Each structure stands twice: as structure tokens, then as C-alpha cells.
Amino acid sequence: MILLVGVAHVIDLREALKKVLQDFAPTAVAVELDPDRFQALVDREKDRAAGRPPVRKSGAPMLLRVWSSVQDRLAADLGDVPGSEMLIAYSTAQEMSVPLFLVDDPIRQVAPRLMNSLSVKERVGLMLSSVIALVTPSQVVQKGLAQYTQDRESYVQAMREQFPSVARVLIDERNLHMAQRLEALSVQFSKVAAVVGDAHISGLEGLLKGRTEVSIRHLVGSG
């Protein structure tokens, strides 16, 4: 059995996520991370605990650096740190003495594939959207998240229409690969809890249904 837990990367869901995992009592936990991103989160948390400023690695495309800044800013406004939910999944797995698996594609492969896929129109649209997001009040973001939880499919479809390459590379291709890894884990472990961004839930459910038992828990907008 696989429990898909949908989270948002800029909202503080730590206590809710920990309770969901403990109640489910998984025999394995999977997270939407690759080794590089996982290590970056662990290192950032160590720096934060020691009172050191976070170290930003250079070399990433400008658009991805802007997206990272947007996430940092929104998370700070909403009372969290980007990726904290993945670290909670990691620490909870440790507390429960169950293995943690990183089931996402390597960022070193995804980033160039995305940048090479973007049309000029998508590049301009994404940059403008990111710049606007940098100055968008957190209340507006919270309202948008509330609207998203009421009609998830419409929001994802709107993104597909506006940014088709982003939907294909960041959602569809990664969903296919994560579903394959989760299915393999479900053969080895009786109860797998997978913590992923909420926008991945529908696609993963469709890919996994009929292959293994799937349960869904949306933490975004769950109260």
C-alpha cells in the first residue's frame, strides 16, 4: 500500500505531516528529493541551527535562482522554510526506525532539461511571474492556495496551457519516474508513505492505481 501525502513547499505543515506519518505507521518513507537536494536541505538546516547564513551555490540558471528566491520569501512570510516538510519526513522516519528513500529525478538532469525545453514565450512569462511573486503580499498567496485546494485540477490545467514545457518536465516526466520507483518500493515494503508536492498527487495516483493500493492525504488546505 502507498499513502501519497500532498504538501506545499512554503507552508508550515510540520506537525500535521508528522501526525499523518505516525498514524499511518509506514514501513518505508519516500520523499520528493534527489541526493543533491536532500544534502542541500540537511546542510542548510545545520547552518540555520548554528546561526550561520545559508550558502547559495552559484551556477544555476538565473530563472531557477529567481524561483528559489521566491520560495524563500513566501516561506518566510508564511512562517516556514522551504523544504522543511521533507526534513520532517526524514526525521520522523528516523524516529520510527524505517528507511527513507529519495524518489525524485536528479536536479542536475531536470534543470538543464527544463531550460532547454522552454520556449521564448515561456521564459519571458516565467520570469515575469517570478518577479511579480517576489513582491506579492503573503495574504494574496494564502488566498490563491485556498482557491487551489477547491479546484486543484483547474489550476494544474491552467499551468499546462500557459507553461506546457514546465508541466511536461516538472510534473509529467517526474511523476512517471517517481511512480516507477514507488511501485518498486511497494513490492519490497508493505506500507510506503510518499511525501510529495501537492501538484504531483493526481498524476501519481493515476499512474499507480491498478498496480498497487493507493491512499491520498492532502495536507494543503486540510486545516
In a domain, 223, yes or no: no
Residue type for 120, please?
V
In a domain, 56, yes or no: yes
| pLDDT confidence of residue 171 | 93
- The boundaries of the domain holding residue 116 are 2-218
pLDDT in tens, 26-35: 999 999 999 9
In a domain, 109, yes or no: yes
Distances (CA, A) of 220 to 7, 18, 148, 190, 223: 6, 14, 9, 26, 8
Percent of the chain with pLDDT over 70: 74
pLDDT in tens, 175-210: 999 999 999 999 999 999 999 999 899 999 999 999
pLDDT in tens, 77-98: 545 566 788 999 999 999 999 9
Q: How many CA atoms lie within 13 A of 26 on its CB side?
A: 33
Output Rg (C-alpha) for the chain, integer angstroms: 17
Q: Alpha-carbon distance 185 to 171, whole Å? A: 20
The DSSP bridge partners found for residue 2 are: 192, 214
Distances (CA, A) of 90 to 25, 28, 101, 213: 14, 11, 9, 23
In a domain, 177, yes or no: yes
How many CB atoms within 10 Å of residue 25? 10
Distances (CA, A) of 111 to 25, 37, 178, 179: 34, 12, 17, 20
> Residues 156-173: what's their mean pLDDT?
91
Domain count of the fold of the chain: 1
Are residues 208 and 214 in contact, defined by beta-carbon separation less than 8 angstroms?
yes
In a domain, 112, yes or no: yes
In a domain, 47, yes or no: yes
